[in-house]
Amino acid sequence: MNSISFIGRRLLQIVPVLIGISLVSFFLIMMIPGDPVRMVLGPRATEEAVTAMRQEWGLDRPIWAQYLSYIGNTLTGDLGQSLKFRIPVLDLVLQYLPRTLFLVAYVLVIALPATILMAVIAARNEGRWPDQLIRVISILGMTIPVFWLGVLFARYFGVKLGWFPVSGYGDGFVEHLHHLFLPAVSTSLWLAPLLTRNLRAALIEQTEADYVAASRAKGLPEGYIFRRHILRNSVLPTLNLLGVMIAFLIGGSVVVEIVYAVPGLGALMVGSVLGRDYFVIQGLTLVYAIATVAITLAIDIFTAAIDPRTSE
């Protein structure tokens, strides 16, 4: 019952956030220089044609009426039509989204096991050389720019050695893994150190907690204490950070997608900005924001499942 109440409260808290997101994505188009009607019809269009299209799109109505229409269209999945591709924005997003999600999942599959392994080794050897080495690696991983790693890997492993493709997405699951290996590794080398430092600190803090000393006094095995208590309680702060990082990866994949020419949402956003494809920019902004809210909600629910005290 507490879980249902917690989920209900979180859903209610999301409502004003979604309203704010809709306002931002709507007024984003209003603030962008240029006229979308002129972009469609061209600079030589007559005033009669421009006026007719404004009436057709409802741009001649008051702002509040346009906003209400935008909300109604969004709720039905109508995000407008791409000025460049001449297809609905939602269809375009659904075409590019799986590639970005595949890349994000690939990054997590590489980064999470490495994070847990390095954090556990560092925490179990606090102050000794394994801990010091992992801390140095973590600092280096966070300071090296992802785009620089991407260019370096593409040049050496892709162009010079020819082991991996440096562009595209491939056909089929195996080719996806092959094409996206370098983008996933270069991103993981930034993500894993960040998560490792957070998890290591949490593990060390929990190791020194009173309940751990009490468990040892009862004669419980050290391995059991670590797996059953220390690791479980240390995962929660790292899990919250991971949720933020996943949302960031979905929106921030533009770097590796541009370097490796991966046709994902990041590449679509850059192309839309350069081409002034207003409705695609608006739709992607809305998708990024909703994805962030959904991931945050999922992490909160998962955290409450691990530790019911967080839902009180």
Q: For residue 266, give the CATH number of its domain.
A: 1.10.3720.10
| pLDDT value at 1 more than 60 | no
Which H helix or E strand runs over 44? Answer: none
Which residues make Cβ contacts (< 8 Å) with residue 113, sequence separation at least 6? Answer: none
Please state, rounded to an integer, the average pLDDT across all residues of the chain: 79
Q: How confident is the model at residue 270 (pLDDT cuts 50, 70, 90)?
A: confident
Structural domain includes residue 25:
no
| pLDDT value at 256 more than 60 | yes
Q: What is the pLDDT of residue 311?
A: 54
Structural domain includes residue 216:
yes
- Environment class of 237 (CB within 10 Å of its CB; exposed 0-12, middle 13-18, buried 19+): middle
Q: What is the pLDDT of residue 177?
A: 86
| pLDDT value at 278 more than 60 | yes
Q: What is the pLDDT of residue 152?
A: 82
Tell me the mean pLDDT in the region 89-98.
Answer: 86
Residue pLDDT, tens place only, 51-63: 777 776 666 677 7
Q: Note down the domain range covering 248.
A: 98-278
Structural domain includes residue 18:
no
Q: 257 and 267 in contact (C-beta within 8 Å)?
A: yes
Structural domain includes residue 170:
yes
Q: What is the pLDDT of residue 243?
A: 79
Q: How confident is the model at residue 36 (pLDDT cuts 50, 70, 90)?
A: low
Tell me how far the alpha carbon of residue 88 is from its chain's centroid: 23
Which residues make Cβ contacts (< 8 Å) with residue 103, sequence separation at least 6? Answer: 180, 183, 184, 187, 253, 256, 257, 262, 264
Q: How confident is the model at residue 35 (pLDDT cuts 50, 70, 90)?
A: low
Tell me how far the alpha carbon of residue 299 is from its chain's centroid: 13
Q: How confident is the model at residue 268 (pLDDT cuts 50, 70, 90)?
A: confident
Which residues make Cβ contacts (< 8 Å) with residue 14, sequence separation at least 6? Answer: 293, 297
Tell me the mean pLDDT in the region 274-288.
Answer: 80
Count of the separate structural domains present in the chain:
1
Structural domain includes residue 86:
no
Residue with tokens 């929660």: 236
| pLDDT value at 179 more than 80 | yes
Which residues make Cβ contacts (< 8 Å) with residue 176, sequence separation at least 6? Answer: 102, 169, 170
Q: How confident is the model at residue 265 (pLDDT cuts 50, 70, 90)?
A: confident
Q: What is the pLDDT of residue 50?
A: 72
Two tokens, residue 14: 């999301």
Q: What residue type is assigned to position 11 of the chain?
A: L
Which residues make Cβ contacts (< 8 Å) with residue 246, sequence separation at least 6? Answer: 104, 108, 295
Q: pLDDT > 70: what percent of the chain?
A: 89
Structural domain includes residue 292:
no
Query: From the CB of residue 267, how many other CB atoms can be counted at a distance below 10 Å?
Result: 20
In angstroms, the CA 84 to CA 287 distance is: 19
Structural domain includes residue 194:
yes
Residue 81's DSSP bridge partners are: 88
Q: 184 and 107 in contact (C-beta within 8 Å)?
A: yes
Q: What is the pLDDT of residue 38?
A: 67
Highest-confidence segment of 4-13, 72-81, 110-119, 202-211:
110-119
For CA atoms 60, 65, 67, 70, the dihedral sign is negative
Tell me the mean pLDDT in the region 113-121.
Answer: 87
In angstroms, the CA 127 to CA 270 distance is: 45
Structural domain includes residue 241:
yes
Q: What is the pLDDT of residue 93?
A: 86
Backbone angles phi, psi at 31, to 5 degrees: -90, -15
Q: 141 and 189 in contact (C-beta within 8 Å)?
A: yes
Residue 88's DSSP bridge partners are: 81
